[in-house]
Amino acid sequence: MGETLTGRHVLITGASSGIGRAAALAVAAKGATVFLLARRADELEEAVAEVRAAGGDAYGYRCDITDTESVERTVFAIQRDHGHVDMLVNNAGRSIRRAIHRSTDRLHDFERTMAVNYFGALRLTFAVLPQMRERRFGHIVNISSAGVQVATPRFAAYLASKAALDKFTEVAAVETMADGVTFTTIHMPLVRTPMIAPSGNQGPAETPEWAAATIVRALVERPRRIDVPLGTIAEYGALLTPRLRDRILHRYYRALPDSPAAKGEDGDGSAAPEPDSGWAEPARSRSTPLRVTGTALRRVGRWVPGTHW
């Protein structure tokens, strides 16, 4: 993508590690001024320093997105210091992998995921939306999950919160069309970050850098959705062969049991931060013809209903 984000003010939540930190680096490399939000002050300072060391323009703000006063105070400080926010990336999230039969006495699992993944995203959206409408420009990227399309077993709490955010985004995008405010929902696949560590090995995962590049694409191109093939196939499967889809998911459920954390053998199964594994995918380069072909196919694919990859 040759387009830049020069001059844009981009706010990213959950920016102290994982996808958020990688996204801050990638967005700043495109020329944007990046506002990093996170709860952990030490990691936030390190992330800001890393972006600046790479030549980017970044500012850190400690914020608890589950606290309305904290969000309002932070957004006020950003607007006071920098004037406005052009784009918001609701990336902060909490993931819990636990079977429902182990959750009947753990309603707080569902409350905690909703507090961060849904209500936290809404707090930030509501805080920046008035000035976006006033300036008649704004773009909001909500990080969802391909699991919402797949209905992945053992992620009922996490996927319910993301599904709520998906539907809110769909309605908001329709209501704000004339206001110059647009939305993108990214149905992320599994990404190798500290958040998934308590759940154990769940199969192939993308790198945070891959996820960051997807976020940059969402900010530059501003599509309504960005999906991955697995999610699209699952959606079609639910429409065309729902019983077969359910049988496949049930076999998946039986094949991969709860992690020790989910069983209460090691923590509470929530997304407590853990050190990064240090795993990284080797850098891959693509020739110009391949990039042009990929771009052309992607644009053609957008005309096919339900295909957003």
Active-site residues, by number, are 158
User: Cα–Cα distance between 127 and 59 in angstroms, integer?
Assistant: 18
Q: Check if the beta carbon of residue 197 is closer than 8 Å to that of residue 262.
A: no
Q: Is 203 exposed, middle or buried, given 0-12, 13-18 or 19+ CB atoms closer than 10 A? A: exposed
DSSP per-residue codes, 215-254: HHHHHHH--SEE--HHHHHHHHHHHH-HHHHHHHHHHHHH
Residue with tokens 């960051």: 212
User: Cα–Cα distance between 113 and 96 in angstroms, integer?
Assistant: 8
- Cβ neighbours of residue 194 under 8 Å, at least 6 residues apart? 17, 18, 273, 274, 275, 276
- Paired tokens of 255: 């094949």
User: Cα–Cα distance between 87 and 85 in angstroms, integer?
Assistant: 6
User: Cα–Cα distance between 5 and 26 in angstroms, integer?
Assistant: 10
**Strands 138-145 and 33-38, sheet pairing:** unpaired
**Considering only CA atoms, which of 229, 209, 173 is closest in space to residue 281?**
209
Q: Put the strands of the sheet holding 138-145 in their side by side order.
A: 57-62, 33-38, 9-13, 87-90, 138-145, 181-188, 225-226
The residues pairing with 37 across neighbouring beta strands, listed in sequence order, are: 13, 61
